[in-house]
Structure 1
Amino acid sequence: MDDAARFRADLTHAFGRGYDGVLGLAVSGGPDSMAMLALAVEALDGRVSVATVDHGLRPEAAEEAALVAGACAEFDVSHVTLTPGAAIAGASLQARARAVRYELLGRWAAAGGVGAVATAHHADDQAETFLMRAGRGSGLAGLAGVRARTTIAGIVVVRPLLDWRRAELRALARRRELRFIDDPANADDRYERTRVRQLLDAHEWLGPANLARSASYLAEADGDLRAVVDWLWAARAMTDGDDVRVDATDLPREIRRRLVRRAVTVVRAVIGLTEPVFSEASNVEALLDGLERGRRVTHAGVLASVREGRWRLRPAPPRRQ
């Protein structure tokens, strides 16, 4: 199987079907995303549209965007550079930059008739993510790592390169004589990912491909559990505006953990609560422990109580000044 056919098969696997629309590509100018650009152009007969996000955090980013634009001109595909309307600042800069990046890509895709956006995450990225999250004590959803297909900021995001190694993508870019730029942050050991990457490079016996494969198995198991939770939510949950009630009797803790996260998410969505940040990866152990003891617990702006195994979650009353 040649490279383009392999990429096409991986894309089909990520979507779960053949894809016949225009595929958006998030291309940064690094070797991985430049290799993805070449593969997608060939595999999809040019049915691609490309975006580069300049977060405004590094002066070199404009040069990198220009490099991608030049490559797209040679491939005869459209390219746009996306920039945020306001400077990205504050704590958790990388997390904020990621959120802005996907928001920009989502708006671009929706405006341009792009059905999905592909990113160049690969097997080594997956292995690094697995180790980083394992080091933090993440549960199943976290250890499942980067998903082959997900939805972020309202747009379908696919990762067709999760079975490709970093080295083979770089080699492909060199064979195609593609210009690319190595992000200097990749060598900056102030970042956790860089330190984990150095660990894997120094200890090949850790097997990045096998770690990535383990993450994919966990993602499959996580998907099955999500389906079970969907079924239980339909059967056992009742919602009345911002008042949610869930029958959680006789359920395993992992299922209850996921149900209570969903209940909190539903209440917060109804009242438009965005602070404090809450996601499907948020720690809810104290909340679950409190409910199991029959206590009233406030978590992420939501008041939870329990009676005869049935939870009730609703907006927490405002704090007294």
Structure 2
Amino acid sequence: MPGVVTFDTDRMFAPLLGRRGIGLAVSGGADSLALMLLVAEWASHHPTPPIFVYSVDHGLRPEAADEARMVATEATRLGFAARALRWDGEKPDTGVQAAARAARYRLMAAAMAADGADILLTAHHLNDQAETVLMRLAHGSGIEGLRGMDRLGFAEGCLLFRPLLDVDPADLRAIVDRAGLIPADDPSNRDSDYERVRWRQELPQLAALGLDGRRLATFALRMNELDDLVTIDTDTAQVRLLRLPSASEAALPHADFSALPRPVAVRLIGRVLGTIGGDRKPHALGALETLCDRLGPVAALKRTSLHGCLIASDGTTITIRRETGRRGAAVMPEATEAVGDNVTRN
């Protein structure tokens, strides 16, 4: 049929073979319904692990319970086990989408543990990736953030797999329309009070200027490749330069550290501060860059503090010590942790 996009589901879902069980996050929207249909097509000609469909009623809209039931009905029709989950309890006055996202993944992680599933598929697609890149660019992210979402990641104890990151949402909607399904419509996806929605609304204007979802996703891929190189160089520098006299202290040779390429130096000092200071929140990139600038090749640094650490240099050795009362991380990470997914919808 002209204009119909076909999908190589064997390639798309190849990483799932050998898993103990597969979870699908299905909200009832067009994107996640299309994911469920694609998985059903793949499962129809493969011996697959058990597949479980999870739909979450966040208790924020009266329609959500019916949407969860619709998902369960369609999942059962396709031969999948289905669970309708609910986020009970009080909801925050602010940051509702972020809290709902965290609750959603917590609920699904618990359901996966009960069902024996060890990977969760989400329907994040090309435009979700584009929105993520734009948001992070506006927030001043470095390459670690501008790589966007990874195909594999973690959230609230869930191992996530995002097989649709290079798929246009219009092609996903076409799959649902051909199947005769009516997707759920969540009005929050059009609510401009949310930053992600504002960027979503700007995508057509950006596309008219040549900056469409595909180009932004390609940019993210290139940042991913560059980030991998920085990670490799940071791992090498960490092994070569870092000394840990105790769990609350680190030391680096000043001259060798200041000779590192700036992205590597920034990444390395961020790792050290995270371990010694015990602050697991992401470090502000600008603050790390400023610190590296102050630790330049000709400068000693009497003392400064950042992220729960005291940093000083006599021009020969940089010392990083935990501030009193801080609890440090137990192990120095061997590599940069995967960037978290900050997408707020399925």
For the superposition of Structure 1 and Structure 2, which TM-score range results when normalised by the shorter chain? 0.7 to 0.9
Residues 75-94 of structure 1 aligned to structure 2 (within 5 Å): 75-84=78-87, 86-94=89-97
Distance in 1 (alpha carbons) for counterparts of 2:120 and 2:237 = 31
Does the Cα contact within 8 Å between 2:13 and 2:42 map onto a contact in 1? no
Question: SS of the residue aligned with 2:77?
Answer: helix
Relative to 1, partners in 2 of residues 1:281 and 1:66: Cα closer, same or farther, differing over 3 Å?
Answer: farther
Alignment partner, residue 276 of structure 2: 267
**Offset, 1:139:** 1.2
Which of residues 300, 306, 313 is equivalent to 1:306? 313
Question: SS of the residue aligned with 1:296?
Answer: strand
Question: Which residues of structure 2 form unaligned runs of 5+?
Answer: 327-346
**Offset, 1:85:** 5.9
**Offset, 1:309:** 5.4
- Runs of 4+, deviation exceeding 6 Å: none
Partner amino acid, structure 1, of 2:144: A
Alignment partner, residue 38 of structure 2: 39
Alignment partner, residue 132 of structure 2: 129
Distance in 2 (alpha carbons) for counterparts of 1:309 and 1:148 = 42
Distance in 2 (alpha carbons) for counterparts of 1:113 and 1:253 = 44
TM (norm. structure 2) is: 0.79
Does the Cα contact within 8 Å between 1:56 and 1:87 map onto a contact in 2? no
Q: How many residues align?
A: 308
Which of residues 283, 292, 299 is equivalent to 1:288? 292
Does the Cα contact within 8 Å between 1:143 and 1:218 map onto a contact in 2? yes
**Offset, 1:32:** 0.2
Alignment partner, residue 13 of structure 2: 11
Alignment partner, residue 230 of structure 2: 225
2:210 aligned with 1:211? no
Relative to 1, partners in 2 of residues 1:213 and 1:256: Cα closer, same or farther, differing over 3 Å?
Answer: same
Distance in 1 (alpha carbons) for counterparts of 2:158 and 2:227 = 21
Which of residues 311, 314, 323 is equivalent to 1:316? 323
Partner amino acid, structure 2, of 1:253: R
Distance in 2 (alpha carbons) for counterparts of 1:288 and 1:167 = 45
Q: 1:92-123: per-residue Cα shift (whole Å, max 9, x none)?
A: 33333333333333333334322211111101
Greater relative contact order (Cα 8 A, min sep 6): structure 1 or 2? 2
Does the Cα contact within 8 Å between 1:148 and 1:159 map onto a contact in 2? yes
Alignment partner, residue 26 of structure 1: 25
Partner amino acid, structure 1, of 2:238: W
Relative to 1, partners in 2 of residues 1:114 and 1:207: Cα closer, same or farther, differing over 3 Å?
Answer: same
Does the Cα contact within 8 Å between 2:9 and 2:38 map onto a contact in 1? yes
Alignment partner, residue 254 of structure 1: 263
Alignment partner, residue 138 of structure 1: 141
Partner amino acid, structure 2, of 1:211: L
Does the Cα contact within 8 Å between 1:25 and 1:118 map onto a contact in 2? yes
**Offset, 1:281:** 6.3
Distance in 2 (alpha carbons) for counterparts of 1:255 and 1:227 = 9
Greater helix content: 1
Relative to 1, partners in 2 of residues 1:179 and 1:111: Cα closer, same or farther, differing over 3 Å?
Answer: same
Partner amino acid, structure 1, of 2:217: A
Relative to 1, partners in 2 of residues 1:153 and 1:291: Cα closer, same or farther, differing over 3 Å?
Answer: farther
Distance in 2 (alpha carbons) for counterparts of 1:57 and 1:117 = 23
**Offset, 1:135:** 2.2
Alignment partner, residue 244 of structure 1: 250
Distance in 2 (alpha carbons) for counterparts of 1:295 and 1:80 = 58
Distance in 1 (alpha carbons) for counterparts of 2:65 and 2:59 = 8
Distance in 2 (alpha carbons) for counterparts of 1:90 and 1:296 = 40
Partner amino acid, structure 2, of 1:81: A
**Offset, 1:260:** 1.5
Could you tell which deviates more after superposition, 249-258 or 79-88? 79-88
Distance in 2 (alpha carbons) for counterparts of 1:158 and 1:77 = 18
Could you tell which deviates more after superposition, 174-183 or 93-102? 93-102
Does the Cα contact within 8 Å between 2:277 and 2:323 map onto a contact in 1? no
Q: 1:242-300: per-residue Cα shift (whole Å, max 9, x none)?
A: 3233442411111111111111222244xxx56xxx22665423443444451422222
TM (norm. structure 1) is: 0.85
Partner amino acid, structure 2, of 1:11: F
Does the Cα contact within 8 Å between 1:150 and 1:156 map onto a contact in 2? yes
Does the Cα contact within 8 Å between 2:283 and 2:307 map onto a contact in 1? no
Does the Cα contact within 8 Å between 1:119 and 1:157 map onto a contact in 2? yes
Does the Cα contact within 8 Å between 2:24 and 2:36 map onto a contact in 1? yes
Relative to 1, partners in 2 of residues 1:297 and 1:55: Cα closer, same or farther, differing over 3 Å?
Answer: farther
Distance in 2 (alpha carbons) for counterparts of 1:266 and 1:86 = 35
**Offset, 1:127:** 1.2
Q: 1:163-209: per-residue Cα shift (whole Å, max 9, x none)?
A: 11011101111111223112111221222222222222245332211
Does the Cα contact within 8 Å between 2:58 and 2:88 map onto a contact in 1? no
Relative to 1, partners in 2 of residues 1:249 and 1:204: Cα closer, same or farther, differing over 3 Å?
Answer: closer
Distance in 1 (alpha carbons) for counterparts of 2:115 and 2:5 = 28
Does the Cα contact within 8 Å between 2:54 and 2:85 map onto a contact in 1? yes
Could you tell which deviates more after superposition, 135-144 or 44-53? 44-53
